[in-house]
Amino acid sequence: MSLHAPSISDLRDAWSRPEPPQKQEETGFFTDTTLCIGCKACEVACKQWNQLPADEFHWTGNSYDNTVTLSDTTWRHVAFVEQFEDGAGRWLMMSDVCKHCQLAPCYEACPTGSIIYNEFGNVYVQQDICNGCGYCVAACPFGVLDRNEDDGRAHKCTLCYDRQKEGMEPACAKSCPTDSIRFGPVSQLREEAKQRLEQLHARGETDAYLYGNEPAGEYSALNSIFLLKDKPSVYNLPDAPRRPAAHLKTNYLLSFGAALGLAAASAFLFSREE
């Protein structure tokens, strides 16, 4: 193989950036847990399309949930919640996924620029830039991201970016037999979610509510919206998710104040010794 000195064009191209894809309408998910039958078709479809390895065959004894949680190789997780007392009760099921937050803590914490918002407004991890620091894993209040033991990088749901670019819906939504998982423009999904909530309330199911459809406290709205029938914690979701970056200014001021206090105390003690 012959070697040659880099040309001016080679040096120029090394620092040039290609034009980013044209911005599209934001897309996301609306998961209606009242329609989920726990079939796990979404889990299987996600693994098949993204060529993710199967989880180890481990019997948890936790109802029919042997997946337990989202991970670097499980980007969809169907939770089973059994609520039975004195022979009466109900099943609660929910297909969990990345929330694709409008202001994502993982995006704010990433030091390399690996995590971006793609042209569809989805939170996307660029694997070739990720250095495996794990800051995003700690920053996410939903436990979505995880580091892979083999390559050391962070992995999560891509919202089937490759399928979206070809005009196809994500594999999980495509496979859902009850339309519990809806995919589409976020603005449209928010309206659909509100209409579905009104429909349930009209039927007397007043315990139904929307999770992530609007900003809550310090946290932004989510582009993965959920219709729930019990407290978020029942579905292993935080009741009030926290965004670490929202506390940085206060933490910096407290640290600065503590440093000034220590400096003043040291100066006072040294002056007394003299």
pLDDT digits (tens, 9 = 90+) for 85-128: 887 889 999 999 999 999 999 999 999 999 999 999 999 999 99
Cα angle for residues 13, 17, 23 (degrees, 5° grid): 150
Q: Spell out the domain ranges in the chain.
A: 27-238
Residue 56 has which token pair?
């180890």
Architecture of domain 27-238: 2-Layer Sandwich (3.30)
Helices (H), the chain: 8-15, 41-50, 105-109, 135-139, 161-165, 171-175, 186-202, 248-273
Residue 115, number of CB atoms within 10 A of its CB = 24
Q: For 247-258, what is each residue's pLDDT tens digit?
A: 667 766 777 678
Predicted TM-score (pTM) of the model is 0.86
How many angstroms separate the Cα of 256 from the Cα of each of 196, 261, 265?
A: 50, 9, 14
- pLDDT class for 260, splitting at 50, 70, 90? confident
Residue in the structure block whose two tokens are 């481990």: 58
Decide: residue 109, CB within 10 A, 0-12 exposed, 13-18 middle, 19+ buried.
Answer: buried
Closest CA relative to residue 27, chosen from 122, 99, 163: 122
Which pLDDT value is given to residue 217? 86
Specify whether the CB–CB gap between 167 and 31 falls below 8 A.
no
Mean pLDDT of the region 136-145: 96
Q: For 24-50, what is each residue's pLDDT tens digit?
A: 999 999 999 999 999 999 999 999 999
User: Among 16-20, 210-214, 251-255, whose mean pLDDT is lowest?
Assistant: 251-255
Distance CA 97, CA 110 (A): 20
